[in-house]
Structure 1
Amino acid sequence: MPMLDVTDETLVVATPEQVREVLCEESFWEDRLPGVRLRCIDDRDELGKRWSVHGAMRGSAEVWLEPWLDAVVVHVFWQVDLADGHRPSARVRRRYAVDLKAHVAAVKDRLEAGRAPGTPRAGQAGE
């Protein structure tokens, strides 16, 4: 069992292509997790990507994009061990989970900017 096993689901009112453009880029995660490098092992186009994780962490990561009505359910999975072999404390594990959620929430906020809550995404009204 990995030392860090983080799972998150977030509904983003945007197209799968818009979400993929940000969350399926290796640089997005590498910029937010210093010392981590990702290598794509499964590119599933509009459904997301899977990576092997190297560097400061070792294991696997995945962004699965599940279209739902005019939105996308973004499933993010990190199953990694720290490269130095140390077992992170519960506080550190929670911090990773909170940070991961914050990164995805920031993308959600950016992609949904200007849309009133409860309204369809731009271009969807009346379809």
Structure 2
Amino acid sequence: MTLVAPLLILLLIGIIEVARYATFAIMVGNAARAGVQYGAQNMVLALDSNGMATAAKNDAQNIAGLQNPSAGYFCKCSDGTASTCLPTDCSSSHRLVYVQVTVSGTFNSMFHFPSVQNTFPVSATATMRVAQ
């Protein structure tokens, strides 16, 4: 039993770190989705990149190591061709507008071991079509 206890403790530490990393990644993804949900409501909000970034930050208030979210919009034609978001684009189809938010953060592990990296970058991008 005395030989197994240190191995079980190391295994438990590994399980805790994986669970913390998974939780951190889920929170970063949720923040990105909150940002696109704000921007996808209508065309006016789709142009509000600061509002989308703020919505993502507000959702991620408990995330330490969060960098500033990036937000924006882009367009495609419904037939799959590229669009520059001009009203004259997509002559044979209609224009679809999408919003996209990227949230990044740095996960810091609770336990530090020699020659093992203790910070890990986490990034999530969410894309959603704007209601028109």
TM-score, length basis structure 1: 0.32
TM-score, length basis structure 2: 0.31
| Larger gyration radius, structure 1 or structure 2 | 2
More helix by share: 2
More strand by share: 1
